[in-house]
Amino acid sequence: MILKIISVLKIYKDIYGTNHTKEYIYIIAITLFGIFSMRFPKSSISTIYVIITAALQLFAMDPAGAYDWYVDARIMVVEPDYIPNSIALQIDQNAGTCSSGQFLNYYPQGSTATDKANNINAVLSSLITGLSTQRTIRIFGNNSGCVVTNLWMLR
């Protein structure tokens, strides 16, 4: 059982990095509930654990603890000059302590150079789509350095 938890945590660490303690706790809880409910598949208690597991997975989907703020905004400027190291962008809303029109910075995420290159290309594509269509994007970030951590394209 502990080996299963460790393997899940290693995969999660490779994908998301090391700075997500809250998410690691959710992963451990999800794994423990899943293992326990599999041992008693016909008992009514397993139904409760399945519901709890699903609820914990919903909490783990949010980039919890990985950001100071989020805002629904439109992209005003995309500055790709710094690729592959970063992308600078401006939005039409205040974001935490970062004022509207101030440059926000996105740094590529991933454990390998290939992962980082793929990540920054996907983010650049999303930002250009948001800029050209004027669709709203939910942007998550940190106040320190006005760093963007996640982007969600909204309808």
CATH number where 100 lies: 2.40.50
- In tens, the pLDDT along 109-152 reads 999 999 999 999 999 999 999 999 999 999 999 999 999 999 99
Are 77 and 56 found together in one domain? no
- Segment 19-30 shows an average pLDDT of 59
Quick one: 125 and 141 in the same domain? yes
Looking at the fold, whether 55 and 87 belong to one and the same domain comes out as: no
- Summary mean pLDDT of the chain: 79
Expressed as residue numbers, the domain containing 94 is 69-153
Is the pLDDT at 5 greater than 80, yes or no?
Answer: no
Pairing state of beta strands 69-73 and 147-153? unpaired
88, 143: one domain: yes
Residues 39 and 99 in one domain: no
* C-alpha–C-alpha distance, residues 122 and 110, integer Å: 12
Whether residues 37 and 90 fall in one domain: no
Same domain, 28 and 57: yes
Contact 76, 92 (CB under 8 A): yes
- Check residue 155 and give its pLDDT: 81
**Pairs from 114-123 (Cβ < 8 Å, separation ≥ 24):** 116/84, 117/84, 120/83, 120/84, 120/86, 120/87, 123/87, 123/151
More confident residue, 31 or 143: 143
Q: What is the mean pLDDT of the segment spanning 43-64?
A: 52
Pair (15, 42) in one structural domain: yes
Q: What are phi and psi of 111, to 5 degrees?
A: -95, -15
Q: Looking at the structure, do residues 78 and 144 belong to the same domain, yes or no?
A: yes
Task: Return the pLDDT at 100.
Answer: 92
Residues 80 and 145 in one domain: yes
Residue 28 has what pLDDT? 64
Give the predicted TM-score (pTM) of the model: 0.60
pLDDT, residue 66, reads: 76
Beta bridge partners of 47: none
Instruction: For residues 46-59, give the mean pLDDT.
Output: 52
Q: How many structural domains comprise the chain?
A: 2
Domain boundary at 21, 41, 61, which? 61
